[in-house]
């Protein structure tokens, strides 16, 4: 048996140098290897757990955290900037779209056709003038009292100005008057009708409270113009407050903060040398100048040649009712002579009438007739008799049964070649 000191020496050797112990004790080699393997595995596992524990407890350094926060902030800022640009572009596009809607409401869309001809529609085709402000496209105003037929309203732009409701004249068959709304809008929260730009700009209201459009600083600007800047110009390019003499409109959005107004340019100046913004509506969009001469072809459908004797005739172009007309003659007399038997049966006969004036007239439907020059006994303008092959006093007067129509289309030369049928 080994002594106590020898056992202690062997145990110490195994604990410190297990490999040496195994070599010196060859009879227990296998057991020694197992012990050493188990010890090594236990030691490796312990080391791995220790390293994992140290890793889990280590965390981020301050520099790493600052870098991560910087990257997150950079990404958020970039996203915000991109979103803001998209939103601004959307408001800009909506402003342009609404300006186009307003233009169509005023002068119609000549690119559209009905029965092969251009569509004639819009405020000017109905009213014969430009609107005083945006509000006239949305509503006709308060009805006047006592009631009339057709109804009359106080303009929402200029209360002293009368807006007549749509009505068809019984004598000419021509319709005129307000038949809007020309732009359909939903009431705002307070019940008011507004058609704002894409930025939602407001103007100074009836109470004097200012809006976001600092250019719209006059009281009632918001009620009249819905936050837009709106200006009327006459034919000489001068600012005018009166739509009855205006020929063009300039419209401007204040933009988000007034730094990039659309369209760009000075909306206030009458100086043509200054860069002025583009017109929303110009004269050529809704006015057409009458030609100096009008060709009228007489078509005699009766059995004999007409007239039996020379007849003095007048061409009459009606602008709305029988009292607003422009006459045509032979440019020497106040009438044109149709010689006896010159309108041969079945053979067209063309005569040229010269108009006494050639103003610009609004787009729309107009009427005409050939009347006899002799003044009626009543002296009334609308009692002149119609030429139906002769000028007998018993002939019919002007009415829808014998008046004919023609169309005035924008941006087209008005070459009038009219037919007059003799039954």
Residues 127 and 243 in one domain: yes
Q: What is the mean pLDDT of residues 189-203?
A: 96
202 pLDDT above the threshold of 80? yes
DSSP state of 381: G
- Is the entire prediction scored with pTM above 0.95? no
Last residue of a domain, one of 265, 284, 303: 284
* 320, 174 Cβ separation under 8 angstroms: yes
The pLDDT, as a whole number, for residue 149 is 93
Which domain does 406 fall in, by range? 290-422
Phi, psi (degrees; rounded to nearest 5) at 397: -85, 175
Q: Which residues does 115 contact at the CB level (< 8 Å), separation at least 6?
A: none
Q: Are residues 228 and 301 in the same domain?
A: no
Give which of 231, 10, 265, 249 is closest to 123, Cα–Cα. 249
Question: 321 and 270 share a domain?
Answer: no
* Overall average pLDDT of the 31-56 stretch: 53
Q: How confident is the model at residue 229 (pLDDT cuts 50, 70, 90)?
A: very high
Q: What does the pLDDT read at residue 55?
A: 53
CA of residue 385 relative to chain centroid, distance:
46
> Same domain for 113 and 22?
no
When pLDDT is cut at 50, 70 and 90, the band that residue 58 belongs to is low
Q: Do residues 39 and 113 share a domain?
A: no
Query: Which of these three, 246, 267, 284, is where a domain ends?
Result: 284
Residue 156 CB partners (closer than 8 Å, separation 6+): 133, 135, 136, 138, 139, 140, 141, 223, 224
Q: Quote the number of domains for the chain.
A: 3
> What pLDDT sits at residue 45?
60
Decide: residue 382, CB within 10 A, 0-12 exposed, 13-18 middle, 19+ buried: middle
**CA 148: distance to chain centroid?**
33
Q: Do 73 and 23 have their domain in common?
A: no
Kindly state whether residues 101 and 204 are assigned to the same domain.
yes
**Structure tokens, 356:** 């006494």
Q: Please write the tens of the pLDDT for every residue from 74-122.
A: 888 777 766 666 778 899 999 999 999 999 999 999 888 888 878 899 9
Q: Where among 218, 250, 284 does a domain terminate? A: 284
pLDDT in tens, 291-312: 999 999 999 999 999 999 999 9
In whole numbers, what is the pLDDT of the chain averaged over residues? 86
What pLDDT, on the 0 to 100 scale, is given for residue 61?
Answer: 85
Count of beta carbons in the 10 Å neighbourhood of residue 363: 25
Is residue 247 over pLDDT 50?
yes
What are the tens digits of pLDDT across the range 376-415?
Answer: 988 888 899 999 999 998 899 998 889 999 999 988 889 9
Q: Is 24 a residue whose pLDDT tops 70?
A: no
User: Does residue 59 surpass a pLDDT of 90?
Assistant: no
Give 357's pLDDT tier (boundaries 50, 70, 90). Answer: very high
Give CA–CA dist 316/403, Å, rounded: 10
Q: What pLDDT digit, counting tens, does each position of 260-289 carry?
A: 999 998 888 777 677 777 899 999 999 999
My answer on whether 142 and 218 are in the same domain is yes
Q: 178 - beta bridge partners?
A: 165
Based on the fold, state whether residues 50 and 77 are members of the same structural domain.
no
Helix, strand, coil % in the chain, rounded to nearest 5:
30, 25, 50
DSSP secondary structure, 90-138, as one string: HHHHHHHHHHHHHHHHHH--TT-EETTEE---SHHHHHSS--SSTHHHH
Is the same domain home to 265 and 141? yes
Claim to verify: residue 46 and residue 68 sit in the same structural domain:
no
Q: Which residue has the higher pLDDT, 248 or 24?
A: 248
- On whether both 248 and 125 belong to a single domain, the answer is yes
């Amino acid at each position: 048996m080994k002594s106590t000191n020898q056992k202690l020496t062997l145990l110490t050797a195994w604990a410190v140098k297990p490999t040496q112990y195994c070599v010196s004790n060859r009879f227990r080699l296998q057991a020694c290897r197992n012990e050493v393997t188990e010890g090594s595995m236990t030691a490796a596992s312990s080391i791995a757990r220790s390293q994992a524990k140290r890793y889990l407890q280590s965390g981020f350094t301050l520099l790493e955290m600052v870098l991560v926060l910087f990257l997150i902030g950079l990404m958020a800022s970039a996203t915000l900037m991109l979103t803001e640009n998209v939103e601004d572009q959307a408001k800009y596009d909506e402003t342009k779209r609404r300006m186009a809607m307003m233009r169509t409401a005023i002068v119609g869309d000549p690119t559209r056709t009905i029965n092969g001809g251009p569509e004639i529609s819009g405020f000017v085709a109905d009213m014969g003038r430009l609107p005083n402000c945006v509000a006239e496209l949305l509503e006709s105003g308060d009805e006047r009292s006592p009631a009339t037929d057709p109804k009359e309203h106080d303009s929402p732009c200029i209360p002293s100005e009368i807006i007549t409701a749509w009505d068809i004249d019984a004598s000419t068959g021509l319709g005129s008057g307000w038949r809007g709304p020309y732009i359909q809008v939903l009431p705002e929260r307070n019940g008011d009708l507004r058609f704002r730009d894409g930025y939602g700009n407001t103007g100074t209201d009836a109470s004097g409270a200012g809006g976001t459009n600092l250019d719209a600083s006059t009281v009632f600007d918001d009620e009249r113009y819905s936050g837009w800047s709106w200006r009327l110009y006459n034919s000489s390019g001068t600012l005018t407050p009166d739509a009855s003499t205006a020929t063009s409109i300039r419209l401007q959005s204040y933009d988000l903060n007034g730094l990039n107004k659309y369209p760009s340019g000075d909306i206030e100046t009458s100086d043509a040398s200054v860069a002025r913004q583009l017109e929303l509506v110009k004269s050529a969009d809704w006015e057409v100048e009458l030609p100096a001469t009008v060709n009228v072809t007489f078509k005699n459908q009766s059995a004999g040649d007409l007239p039996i004797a020379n007849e003095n005739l007048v061409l009459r172009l009606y602008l709305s009712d029988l009292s607003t007309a422009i006459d045509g003659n032979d440019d020497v007399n106040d009438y044109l002579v149709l010689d006896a038997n010159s309108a041969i049966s079945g053979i067209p006969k063309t005569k040229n009438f010269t108009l006494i004036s050639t103003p610009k007239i609004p787009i729309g439907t107009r009427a005409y007739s050939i009347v006899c020059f002799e003044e009626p006994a009543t002296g009334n303008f609308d009692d002149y008799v119609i030429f139906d092959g002769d000028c007998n006093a018993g002939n019919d007067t002007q009415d829808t049964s014998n008046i004919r129509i023609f169309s005035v289309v924008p941006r087209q030369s008005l070459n009038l070649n009219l037919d007059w049928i003799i039954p």
